[in-house]
């Protein structure tokens, strides 16, 4: 079908989108589609002074399904993302500027950001100090607090989806998998969260889960910031679980009530939990305690966002640095 | 102090939303500073991260931004709305969508077709179906279970209407634009959900003038849940109620449920604290609508007390069982008559007609004493104790249908009166049903009419109307009537032996529109 009509779904990509956004260059690509840097021409035209600075934005072009039969109009991930971005206005959530359609594609215009957390996290040239880590984690928790307060689970919290602006402000993006969790009686899919940041309850196939899965992802990110790499780097679900259990200990009914009833529960070789102070020598007790609280296997025992923000780790010296003190200059 | 709902010690850890109220940190039950706790079914217990009350407050806040100017002139849409809702429920069921999704789709549909916008201005009757189905599609994508968004082909098949693919895509974009991509709208379902997760029965509630609710707590909670679901569907179907805020709709439903449960103070201070508004703030139209339902199920409703003389009240009170049977028989008769009518139309069998003229329904003296107005020849029995509100409602409904040409006019059987002194009432009822009001009071005289195939028996519309009056199937009626229990009635439980022996009594009530 697609071969017969190759032009049918091709978007005519003129350099000027809807007569307003001038294409500059392609800056990213992902499973969702492509991201372009654009200049807002209309804004320049309406500017009061001719020397006013150019306004740049990022335009996200949502990918169309390869199979024509699967085209269902506006993709549901796009629909949810637009809705959530439209609704949540917060310093740590990326703002949505505009939405438009060209042929069958949907375009989202968003604030242009400098980089994402993964570049900061995996860079070998940047040194991250405790105040830096505190600043990053607090911004993550503030963003999460806003989402959870509005009954939204992000469900794909990874360093790649945490964008950083020029002045070091961290912003959540990619809400394609997000959903509202206000009801506790509706099953949810397990096909969420990038494998390395996936909570054990999802790996065990739980149909009912809550905002705690975001907390686990935040724990993985904190571990990653300390390790400067991926904390649990499994190749598949089973491998991922074994990596988690190697550190957090094998779950049992005593440590996690109801785990054996989860749909994909499999018994693992019994391993005792390890202390994070051994894994990360040199970290203080509060940080180890926070990490443990974030990565607890039983979601009911995991810390809540509020508890994370009020954790003693953030209240003691050294204090968190300001966002603009983050080492952004070294990121390309 | 322990949480009386989950028996946990949460006095120190309760999630305080404001100075006075909050939720139990273990089960999410509503509780006040004084220690008044709500009760709920175990299935609604949850360990909340954020207080469910906060979720309800979010809904209240969101409503301020979701003000739509609903039109009252969309007569075409009003006449089609119920059918469209039925279509949405049936399509949603076929596509395994949740009720939440369908309710959201109804909300989108109301906004699109009943406010002033680009679509409503040009939409005509034949495009309503497409718009309704597209609304379901959008709701499914946004709200439904993950990856359960239906494909256009599936939607076309399930809805049973040939919706062009391009129209669907076109409408989808237009609807999203009109909604300004604000798809998270508060619906009655979501509001009720936020409230039932906290509980709508409180520890300071009493029933039947001072009796504690704790003895039959589980039964009360179960019935409250069933009744709430029923009222939710009822309010959703009523086009006149669709204009109101979902929180007000929910409050009207909860108030109705609490009235039916015989709670002494249906709109108690605790409920008011949870809902964040007083009874006076609920639009009277909504209360009228739910009170109408109550008045059919609840013999001791305030309206009745005002309208009925004291003697009549006591008679009615002692004949609850008879009343339930009457409703059941009306339903039963209409079901059979409707089936027969269809059969007669196609086969013209005189045998079938004679069956109708000799129904197997007999009246007991108890029923007669209950003050029945019944059609002797047909077995159709109507309780005479319908009040003026009910009568005018039926009149309006029938007249509206007659005016719109949906209900054929024509003579049906004349009637006789079960007990003397209700002639005026009889005439009204008879005329309502399209009967010969000037006829004699003996049904036998007009028996020929019954055997005449051309004489319209109970039409489909009338059947539906009666179904509406009776609120669904007999088992459903019995269930709701059974929910009105009290100490006295518990003592004579044998009265309800039929209901208790019904294995489906505990089942989820049948939703009339689904």
Whole domain around residue A218: which residue ranges?
Answer: 115-330
Give percent of chain B with pLDDT exceeding 70. 53
Residue A233, SS3?
coil
Question: Given this model, what pLDDT does residue B460 score?
Answer: 46
Residue A293 lies in a domain: yes
What average pLDDT score do residues B371-377 get?
40
Residue A123 lies in a domain: yes
Residue A1 lies in a domain: no
Quickly tell me which residue has 């079914």 as its tokens. Answer: B41
**Do residues A85 and A172 share a domain?**
no
**Do residues A38 and A57 share a domain?**
yes
**Do residues A62 and A132 share a domain?**
no
CATH of the domain at A98: 3.30.200.20
Q: What's the whole-model pTM score? A: 0.66
B151–A148 C-beta distance less than 8 A: no
Are the C-beta atoms of B249 and B233 separated by less than 8 Å? no
CATH of the domain at A320: 1.10.510.10
**Do residues A99 and A130 share a domain?**
no
- From residue B433, alpha-carbon distances to A122, A245, B389 in Å are 80, 73, 17
pLDDT bracket for residue B502 (50, 70, 90): very low
pLDDT above 80 for B311: no
Diameter over CA atoms, chain B: 77
pLDDT above 60 for A190: yes
- Among A144-153, B184-193, B264-273, B345-354, the range scoring the smallest mean pLDDT is B345-354
What average pLDDT score do residues A302-326 get?
92
In degrees rounded to 5, what are phi and psi of residue A265? -65, 130
B142–A183 C-beta distance less than 8 A: no
Boundary of a domain, candidates A111, A141, A174? A111
**Do residues A148 and A73 share a domain?**
no
* Binding site per annotation, positions of A for ATP: 60
Are the C-beta atoms of B222 and B280 separated by less than 8 Å? no
Q: Which of B41, B146, B197 is best to mutate for the A interface (most A CBs within 10 A)?
A: B146
Task: Select from A70, A99, A184 the Cβ nearest to the Cβ of B181.
Answer: A99
Question: Given this model, what pLDDT does residue B8 score?
Answer: 65
Q: How many domains does chain A have?
A: 2
pLDDT bracket for residue B50 (50, 70, 90): low
**Do residues A10 and A126 share a domain?**
no
pLDDT digits (tens, 9 = 90+) for B402-433: 445 443 333 222 222 233 333 344 444 444 44
Residues of chain B contacting A300 with CB distance shorter than 8 Å = 47
* Separation of alpha carbons B149 and B158, rounded Å: 13
Question: Given this model, what pLDDT does residue A43 score?
Answer: 64
In degrees rounded to 5, what are phi and psi of residue A23? -70, 135
Q: Which of A183, A187, A296, A305 is best to mutate for the B interface (most B CBs within 10 A)?
A: A183
**Do residues A57 and A173 share a domain?**
no
Question: Given this model, what pLDDT does residue A314 score?
Answer: 94
Residues of chain A contacting B172 with CB distance shorter than 8 Å = 73-74
In chain A, the DSSP E strands lie at 16-17, 21-29, 33-40, 56-62, 96-102, 105-111, 115-116, 152-153, 162-164, 170-172, 179-180
* Binding site per annotation, positions of A: 60
Are the C-beta atoms of A242 and A249 separated by less than 8 Å? no
Are the C-beta atoms of B482 and B497 separated by less than 8 Å? no
**Do residues A267 and A120 share a domain?**
yes
A-B C-beta contacts closer than 8 Å: 85
Are the C-beta atoms of B318 and B492 separated by less than 8 Å? no
Q: For chain A, say whether B55 makes contact (Cβ under 8 Å).
A: yes
Among the listed residues A116, A156, A174, A214, the single catalytic one is: A156
Residue A16, SS3?
strand
Residue A27 lies in a domain: yes
Residue A283 lies in a domain: yes
Boundary of a domain, candidates A69, A95, A111? A111
Distance from CA of B141 to the nearest CA of A (A): 5
Residue A295 lies in a domain: yes
pLDDT digits (tens, 9 = 90+) for B73-116: 777 888 888 889 999 999 988 888 888 889 999 999 999 998 88
Residue A195 lies in a domain: yes
**Do residues A93 and A225 share a domain?**
no
pLDDT digits (tens, 9 = 90+) for A283-294: 889 999 999 999
Does A237 participate in catalysis according to the annotation?
A: no
**Do residues A255 and A303 share a domain?**
yes
Q: Which of B13, B44, B45, B49 is best to mutate for the A interface (most A CBs within 10 A)?
A: B49
Q: For chain B, say whether A88 makes contact (Cβ under 8 Å).
A: no
Residue A134 lies in a domain: yes
A239: tokens are 């491998």
Boundary of a domain, candidates A95, A111, A127? A111
**Do residues A89 and A172 share a domain?**
no
The residues, ordered by sequence, that sit 6+ positions from B246 with a Cβ below 8 Å of its Cβ are B59, B63, B186, B187, B188, B190, B191
Task: Select from A79, A186, A189 the Cβ nearest to the Cβ of B141.
Answer: A79
**Do residues A77 and A170 share a domain?**
no
| Nearest in space to B250 (alpha carbons), one of B132, B126, B103, B455 | B103
Write down the number of H helices and E strands in chain B: 24, 9
- Top mean pLDDT of B43-52, B187-196, B368-377, B452-461 is at B187-196
């Amino acid at each position: 079908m697609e071969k017969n009509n190759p032009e049918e779904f091709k978007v005519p990509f003129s350099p000027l989108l809807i007569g307003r956004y001038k294409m500059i260059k392609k800056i990213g690509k992902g499973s969702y589609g492509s991201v372009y840097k654009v200049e807002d021409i209309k804004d320049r035209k309406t500017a009061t002074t001719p020397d006013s600075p150019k306004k740049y934005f990022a335009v996200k072009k949502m990918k169309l399904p390869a199979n024509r039969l699967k085209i269902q109009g506006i993709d549901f991930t796009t629909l949810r993302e637009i809705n959530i971005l439209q609704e949540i206005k917060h310093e740590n959530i990326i703002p949505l500027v505009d939405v438009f359609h060209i042929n069958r594609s949907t375009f989202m215009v968003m604030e242009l950001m400098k980089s994402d957390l993964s570049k900061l996290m995996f860079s070998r040239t940047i040194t991250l100090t405790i105040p830096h880590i505190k600043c990053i984690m607090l911004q993550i928790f503030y963003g999460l607090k806003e989402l959870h307060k509005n009954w939204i689970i992000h469900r794909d919290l990874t360093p790649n989806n945490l964008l950083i602006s020029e002045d070091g402000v961290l912003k959540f993006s990619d809400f394609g998998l997000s959903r509202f969790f206000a009801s506790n009686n509706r099953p949810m899919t397990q096909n969420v969260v990038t494998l390395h940041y996936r909570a054990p309850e999802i790996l065990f196939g739980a149909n009912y889960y809550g905002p705690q899965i975001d907390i686990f992802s935040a724990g993985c990110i904190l571990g990653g910031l300390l390790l400067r790499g991926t904390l649990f780097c499994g190749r598949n679900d089973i491998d991922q679980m074994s990596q988690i259990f190697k550190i957090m200990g094998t779950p049992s009914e005593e440590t996690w009530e109801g785990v054996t009833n989860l749909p994909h529960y499999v018994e693992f070789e019994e391993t005792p939990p390890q202390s994070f102070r051994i894994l990360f020598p040199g970290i203080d007790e509060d940080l180890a305690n926070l990490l443990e609280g974030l990565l607890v296997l039983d979601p009911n025992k995991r810390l809540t966002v509020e508890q994370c923000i009020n954790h003693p780790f953030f209240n003691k010296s050294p204090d968190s640095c300001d966002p603009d003190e983050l080492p952004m200059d070294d990121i390309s | 102090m322990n949480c009386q709902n989950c028996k946990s010690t949460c006095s120190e850890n309760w999630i305080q939303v404001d100075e006075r109220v909050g939720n139990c940190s273990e089960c999410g039950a509503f509780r006040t500073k004084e220690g008044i706790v709500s009760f709920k079914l175990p299935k609604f217990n949850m360990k909340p991260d954020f207080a469910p009350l906060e979720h309800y407050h979010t809904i209240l806040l969101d409503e301020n931004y979701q003000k739509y100017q609903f039109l009252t002139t969309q007569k075409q849409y009003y006449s089609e709305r119920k059918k469209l809702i039925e279509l949405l429920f049936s399509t949603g069921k076929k596509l395994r969508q949740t009720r939440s999704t369908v309710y959201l789709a109804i909300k989108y549909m109301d906004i699109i077709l009943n406010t002033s916008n680009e679509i409503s201005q040009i939409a005509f009757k034949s495009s309503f179906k497409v718009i309704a189905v597209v609304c379901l599609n959008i709701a499914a994508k946004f709200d439904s279970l993950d990856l359960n968004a239906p494909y256009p082909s599936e939607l076309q098949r399930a809805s049973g209407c040939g919706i062009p693919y391009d129209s669907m895509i076109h409408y989808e974009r237009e609807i999203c634009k009109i909604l300004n991509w604000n798809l998270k709208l508060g619906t009655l379902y979501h509001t009720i959900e936020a409230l039932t997760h906290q509980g709508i029965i409180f520890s300071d509630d009493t029933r039947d003038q001072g009796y504690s609710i704790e003895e039959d707590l589980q039964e009360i909670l179960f019935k409250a849940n069933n009744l709430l679901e029923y009222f939710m569907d009822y309010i959703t179907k009523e086009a006149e109620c669709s204009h109101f805020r979902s929180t007000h709709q929910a409050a009207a439903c909860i108030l109705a449920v609490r009235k039916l449960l015989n709670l002494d103070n249906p709109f108690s201070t605790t409920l008011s604290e949870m809902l964040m508004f007083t009874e006076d703030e609920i639009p009277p139209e909504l209360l009228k609508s739910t009170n109408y339902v109550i008045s059919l199920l609840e013999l001791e409703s305030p309206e009745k007390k005002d309208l009925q003389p004291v003697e009549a009240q006591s008679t009615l009170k002692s004949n609850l069982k008879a009343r339930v049977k009457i409703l059941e028989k009306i339903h039963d008769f209409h079901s059979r008559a409707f089936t027969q009518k269809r059969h007669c139309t196609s086969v013209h069998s005189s045998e079938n007609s004679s069956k109708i003229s000799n129904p197997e329904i007999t009246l007991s003296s108890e029923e007669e004493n209950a003050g029945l107005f019944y059609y002797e020849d047909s077995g159709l029995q109507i309780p005479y104790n319908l009040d003026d509100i009910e009568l005018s409602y039926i009149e309006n409904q029938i007249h509206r249908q007659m005016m719109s040409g949906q209900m054929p006019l024509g003579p049906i059987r004349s009637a006789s009166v079960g007990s003397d002194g209700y002639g005026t009432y009889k005439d009204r009822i008879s005329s309502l049903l399209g009967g010969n009001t000037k006829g004699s009071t003996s049904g036998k005289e007009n028996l020929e009419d019954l055997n005449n195939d051309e004489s319209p028996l109970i039409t489909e519309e009338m059947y539906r109307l009666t179904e509406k009056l009776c609120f669904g199937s007999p088992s459903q009626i019995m269930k709701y009537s059974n929910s009105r229990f009290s100490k006295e009635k518990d003592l004579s439980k044998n009265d309800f032996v039929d209901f208790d022996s019904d294995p489906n009594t505990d089942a989820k009530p049948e939703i009339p529109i689904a």
